[in-house]
């Protein structure tokens, strides 16, 4: 690698200073590190510290809709400082310490991006540009200092990407798999990524399909072995095999209610109430069946059971709504979080959001400071350039192989791998889409966009020199 320790140290110091500056002067104010899901992680951590584990502090029922990775990170801080109360505001010193450590850890992300970008582009200049963009990236900056699982999950996912894009030796596969498994303990969406990655690994080894199959099986087997303890825990508690049933809650809160709204012509809040009444009725029935046993009912699995019939009965409506949400994830601006801070609405999510309205809020509607507005305009411009660059990469690196009916070159397949991971990650967010859900692939998008723009520039320069000759 053509990079010295000076590159890594400079990137780390710059990233840390920017994040520290933003945290001290902006995020600490008014407890802006408290986000819609923060209370869940806080409660899970309290359970771990007091000895009840991943159970609700009030009812002592097991928690299934969260995984234990992020509470495991927080629990040493809660043990060290003690628990002052059940509210987040009662434990400010504890949380602020955990967030400062989180900021330090996340300040390492830019030099991981540096190495990842060089692997994909084989260009020192493009790798440095991608790394410095990650230093200032608004989404990565804010994610490092809020009480959410992204604070730890991001660096684990980027480590997975770094080793996954390296030559597929047994060592690299082993490290990539363990990094993705660790990420999955924090963010359960890693299961879907693992399946896609195993397929990409198999295709990468073609035409030596036997070796590719062996490596893909090694990857997927090691991955599920690493996360199997949580499957076993959930099976012992419910009698059902699952890792995290959060998808059921998304279906019941967002997808199925929108379908009922279309069909019945009623407000969204009423259709949500209909779905949750159905789920509650089924939950009571399930509890009666399990009375006298040691088993619990997973409410999220029940939500899934009552939602799927609605989704499957109206697949066209479901697909339309799903596509709307993944479009929102793809094109949403991280700067909209600044709108939530300015309007003091950052502690909860609305039932429904619209992409155009969110862009309008960032660019001119919401009461933002001049600096925040400029950040919004800058991100909007960069977002458009990134998507144009991705289109250029598809044009230069993907389409030629299809047009010429040949297999991809090494770099073309690297681009194909990146685009597949980007697309599959965004596709998963069709329940409720927003910018934070694509954070794990934002650096990949930037790298692929830079490669596309560079290829366009190179071809333009070549054409000019050819005409001159």
pLDDT band at 468 (very low <50, low <70, confident <90, very high): very low
Main-chain phi, psi angles of 423, to 5 degrees: -65, -45
CA atoms within a 13 Å half-sphere pointing along the CA-CB vector of 78: 25
Q: How many CB atoms lie within 10 A of CB 83?
A: 15
Interatomic CA distance for residues 163 and 183, integer angstroms: 14
Query: What per-residue confidence (pLDDT) applies to 349?
Result: 83
Region 106-132: mean pLDDT is: 97
Tell me which residue of 228, 235, 215, 214 sits closest to 181, measured CA to CA. Answer: 228
Interatomic CA distance for residues 119 and 161, integer angstroms: 10
Region 450-465: mean pLDDT is: 83
With 60 as the cut, is the pLDDT of residue 299 above it? yes
Interatomic CA distance for residues 134 and 110, integer angstroms: 6
| Percentage with pLDDT > 90 across the chain | 84
Interatomic CA distance for residues 298 and 293, integer angstroms: 14
The CA R_g of the chain, rounded to the nearest whole Å, is 23
Q: Helix 268-289 to helix 256-264 angle, to the nearest 10 degrees?
A: 120
Region 211-215: mean pLDDT is: 94
Tell me which residue of 445, 440, 439 sits closest to 393, measured CA to CA. Answer: 445
405: left (phi over 0), alpha (psi -120 to 50) or beta: left
Tokens at residue 363, please?
Answer: 């660019």
Query: What per-residue confidence (pLDDT) applies to 52?
Result: 87
Q: Which of 208-217, 346-355, 359-368 has the lowest mean pLDDT?
A: 346-355
Query: What per-residue confidence (pLDDT) applies to 466?
Result: 37
Residue with tokens 């019939």: 309
| Percentage with pLDDT > 70 across the chain | 98
Domain residue extents for the chain: 246-313, 332-469
Query: What per-residue confidence (pLDDT) applies to 330?
Result: 97
Region 230-234: mean pLDDT is: 97
Region 348-375: mean pLDDT is: 94
Is residue 452 a contact partner of residue 389, using CB atoms and an 8 Å limit? Answer: yes
| Mean pLDDT computed over every residue of the chain | 93
Tell me which residue of 386, 366, 368 sits closest to 435, measured CA to CA. Answer: 386
Question: Any idea how long the chain is?
Answer: 469
Q: Which residues pair with 62 in a beta bridge?
A: 55
Region 251-263: mean pLDDT is: 95
Residue 172 CA: distances (Å) to CA of 23, 70, 119, 127, 204: 35, 25, 13, 21, 14
User: What tens digit of pLDDT does each residue of 414-437 get?
Assistant: 999 999 999 999 999 999 999 999
Q: Which residues pair with 35 in a beta bridge?
A: none
User: What tens digit of pLDDT does each residue of 26-76 get?
Assistant: 999 888 999 888 999 999 999 999 888 898 877 788 999 999 999 999 999
pLDDT band at 1 (very low <50, low <70, confident <90, very high): low
Q: How many CB atoms lie within 10 A of CB 396?
A: 18
Task: Kindly tell me the sign of the dihedral angle through the C-alpha atoms of 144, 98, 154, 109.
Answer: positive
Query: What per-residue confidence (pLDDT) applies to 467?
Result: 39
With 70 as the cut, is the pLDDT of residue 302 above it? yes
Residue with tokens 């609405």: 345
Task: Kindly tell me the sign of the dihedral angle through the C-alpha atoms of 395, 398, 399, 403.
Answer: positive
DSSP 349: -
Region 135-140: mean pLDDT is: 97
pLDDT band at 91 (very low <50, low <70, confident <90, very high): confident
Interatomic CA distance for residues 53 and 379, integer angstroms: 41
User: What tens digit of pLDDT does each residue of 330-343 get?
Assistant: 999 999 999 999 99
pLDDT band at 454 (very low <50, low <70, confident <90, very high): very high
Region 115-128: mean pLDDT is: 96
With 90 as the cut, is the pLDDT of residue 233 above it? yes
Interatomic CA distance for residues 445 and 451, integer angstroms: 10
With 90 as the cut, is the pLDDT of residue 150 above it? yes
With 90 as the cut, is the pLDDT of residue 216 above it? yes
Query: Could you tell me the pTM of the whole model?
Result: 0.94
DSSP 398: I
**3-class DSSP state of 351:** coil
Query: What per-residue confidence (pLDDT) applies to 458?
Result: 86
pLDDT band at 8 (very low <50, low <70, confident <90, very high): very high
Interatomic CA distance for residues 283 and 302, integer angstroms: 6
Is residue 389 a contact partner of residue 305, using CB atoms and an 8 Å limit? Answer: no
Region 179-197: mean pLDDT is: 96
Number of helical (H) and strand (E) elements in the chain, helices listed first: 22, 0
Is residue 68 a contact partner of residue 185, using CB atoms and an 8 Å limit? Answer: yes
Is residue 34 a contact partner of residue 92, using CB atoms and an 8 Å limit? Answer: no
With 50 as the cut, is the pLDDT of residue 141 above it? yes
Region 79-94: mean pLDDT is: 84
């Amino acid at each position: 690698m053509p990079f010295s320790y000076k590159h890594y140290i400079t990137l780390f110091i710059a990233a840390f200073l920017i994040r520290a500056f933003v945290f001290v002067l902006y995020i600490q104010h008014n407890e802006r590190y408290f986000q819609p899901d923060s209370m869940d992680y806080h409660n899970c951590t309290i359970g771990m510290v007091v000895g009840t584990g991943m159970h609700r502090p009030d009812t002592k029922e097991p928690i299934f809709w969260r995984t234990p990775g992020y509470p495991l990170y927080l629990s040493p801080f809660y043990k060290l400082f003690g628990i002052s109360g059940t509210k987040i505001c009662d434990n400010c010193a504890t949380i602020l310490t955990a967030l400062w450590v989180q900021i330090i850890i996340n300040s390492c992300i830019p030099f991981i991006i540096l190495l990842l970008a060089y692997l994909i582009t084989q260009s020192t200049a493009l790798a440095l540009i991608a790394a410095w963009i990650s230093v200032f990236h608004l989404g990565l900056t804010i994610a490092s200092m809020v009480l959410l699982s992204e604070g730890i999950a991001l660096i684990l996912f980027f480590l997975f990407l770094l080793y996954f894009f390296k030559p597929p030796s047994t060592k690299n596969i082993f490290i990539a798999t363990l990094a993705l498994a660790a990420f999955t303990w924090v963010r359960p969406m890693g299961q879907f990524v693992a399946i896609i990655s195993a397929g990409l690994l198999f295709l990468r080894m073609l035409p030596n399909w036997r070796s590719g199959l062996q490596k893909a099986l090694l990857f997927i087997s090691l991955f599920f072995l690493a996360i199997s303890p949580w499957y076993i825990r959930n099976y012992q508690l419910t009698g059902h095999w699952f890792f995290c049933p959060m998808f059921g809650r998304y279906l019941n809160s967002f997808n199925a209610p929108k379908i009922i709204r279309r069909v019945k012509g009623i407000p969204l809040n009423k259709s949500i109430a209909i779905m949750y009444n159905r789920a509650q009725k089924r939950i009571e029935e399930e509890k009666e069946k399990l009375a006298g046993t040691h088993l619990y009912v997973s409410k999220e699995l029940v939500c899934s059971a009552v939602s799927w019939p609605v989704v499957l009965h109206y697949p066209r409506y479901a697909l339309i709504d799903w596509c709307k949400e993944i479009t929102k994830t793809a094109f949403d601006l991280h700067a909209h979080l600044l709108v939530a801070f300015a309007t003091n609405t950052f502690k909860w999510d609305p039932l429904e959001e619209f992409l155009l309205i969110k862009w309008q809020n960032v660019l001119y509607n919401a009461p933002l400071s001049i600096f925040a507005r400029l950040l919004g305009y800058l991100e909007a411009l960069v977002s458009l350039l990134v998507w144009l660059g991705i289109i250029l990469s598809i044009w230069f690196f993907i389409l030629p192989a299809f047009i010429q009916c040949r297999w991809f070159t090494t770099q073309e397949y690297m681009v194909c791998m990146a685009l597949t991971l980007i697309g599959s990650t965004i596709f998963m967010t069709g329940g409720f889409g927003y910018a934070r859900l694509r954070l794990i692939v934002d650096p990949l998008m930037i790298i692929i966009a830079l490669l596309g723009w560079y290829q366009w520039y190179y071809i333009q320069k070549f054409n000019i020199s050819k005409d001159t000759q």
